[in-house]
């Protein structure tokens, strides 16, 4: 599918409040037919997400430690997580220490997922991901670990007000660029 047709389809799915504010751009270079060029998503004429460029206004994590120390990321700990640490410890460990160990384990897992998603974004081809978005159900795009699929789903008109408001807890665990688009959509309700 050509870029102009793909862009037209993506913009037809934008929620009415964001129509004209969110734009998809992929300037092509006629001298580089085998290269995908640059792709970016702009909000109010400012480039918010430039695929593969880490100099955006949005925070990009360089290490696992940065993610663990980010105060914006609140990782909930369940009783199952604490019980798994208790089983792995095989001994008497104070309850408050079990909570610290479970939080550390869960934040390490979360950090690896975020770094993996961020790495795949810099290597991704926006056109391939956009075609995947158009051919899969919206629920799969929302639940996906792919940053671009999450963004496309969040600005989609098929995601209603109730669903957006009920996603607040899940969004705390997402990459900052996904949280940015979530807040943009919440503000447009």
Report the pLDDT value the prediction gives residue 120, as an integer from 0 to 100: 63
Q: Are residues 7 and 44 in the same domain?
A: yes
Residue 131 structural domain:
3-59+125-187
Q: Are residues 13 and 55 in the same domain?
A: yes
Q: Are residues 52 and 70 in the same domain?
A: no
Predicted confidence (pLDDT) per residue in 127-138, tens digit: 788 889 999 999
Name residues of the chain where pLDDT drops below 70. 27-38, 51-60, 118-125
Beta partners for residue 58, in sequence order: none
Q: Are residues 51 and 70 in the same domain?
A: no
Predicted confidence (pLDDT) per residue in 39-82, tens digit: 778 899 888 877 655 555 556 677 777 777 777 777 788 888 88
Count up the domains in the chain and report the number.
2
Report the pLDDT value the prediction gives residue 15, as an integer from 0 to 100: 92
Q: Are residues 12 and 93 in the same domain?
A: no
When the pLDDT of each residue in the chain is averaged and rounded to a whole number, the result is: 81
Report the pLDDT value the prediction gives residue 166, as an integer from 0 to 100: 93
Residue 177 maps to a domain: yes
The model carries a pTM of: 0.70
If one counts every other C-beta atom within 10 angstroms of the C-beta of residue 71, the result is 5
Helices within the chain (DSSP H only) = 3-12, 64-68, 79-89, 95-123, 126-135, 138-143, 147-154, 161-166, 168-171, 176-187
Residue 120 maps to a domain: no
Q: How far is CA 155 from CA 24, 70, 90, 148, 164, in A?
A: 12, 26, 47, 11, 10
What are φ and ψ of residue 32, in 5° steps? -125, 70
Report the pLDDT value the prediction gives residue 78, as an integer from 0 to 100: 86
Q: How far is CA 176 from CA 66, 70, 72, 104, 109, in A?
A: 13, 11, 9, 20, 17
Q: How far is 117 from 78, CA to CA, in rounded Å?
A: 24
Q: Are residues 108 and 78 in the same domain?
A: yes
What are φ and ψ of residue 14, in 5° steps? -65, 145
Report the pLDDT value the prediction gives residue 164, as an integer from 0 to 100: 92
Q: Are residues 12 and 88 in the same domain?
A: no
Residue 99 maps to a domain: yes
């Amino acid at each position: 599918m050509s870029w102009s047709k793909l862009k037209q389809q993506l913009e037809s799915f934008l929620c009415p409040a964001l129509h004209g504010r969110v734009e998809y751009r992929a300037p092509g270079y006629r001298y580089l037919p085998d290269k995908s060029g640059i792709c970016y998503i702009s909000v109010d004429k400012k480039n918010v997400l430039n695929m593969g460029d880490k100099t955006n206004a949005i925070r990009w994590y360089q290490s696992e430690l940065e993610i663990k120390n980010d105060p914006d990321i609140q990782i909930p700990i369940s009783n199952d997580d604490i019980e798994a640490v208790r089983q792995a410890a095989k001994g008497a460990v104070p309850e408050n220490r079990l909570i610290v160990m479970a939080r550390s384990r869960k934040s390490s897992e979360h950090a690896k997922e975020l770094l993996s998603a961020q790495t795949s974004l810099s290597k991704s081809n926006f056109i391939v991901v956009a075609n995947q978005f158009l051919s899969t159900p919206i629920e799969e795009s929302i639940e996906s670990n792919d940053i671009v699929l999450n963004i496309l789903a969040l600005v989609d008109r098929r995601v209603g007000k109730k669903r957006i408001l009920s996603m607040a807890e899940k969004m705390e665990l997402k990459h900052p660029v996904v949280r940015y688009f979530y807040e943009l959509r919440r503000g447009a309700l």
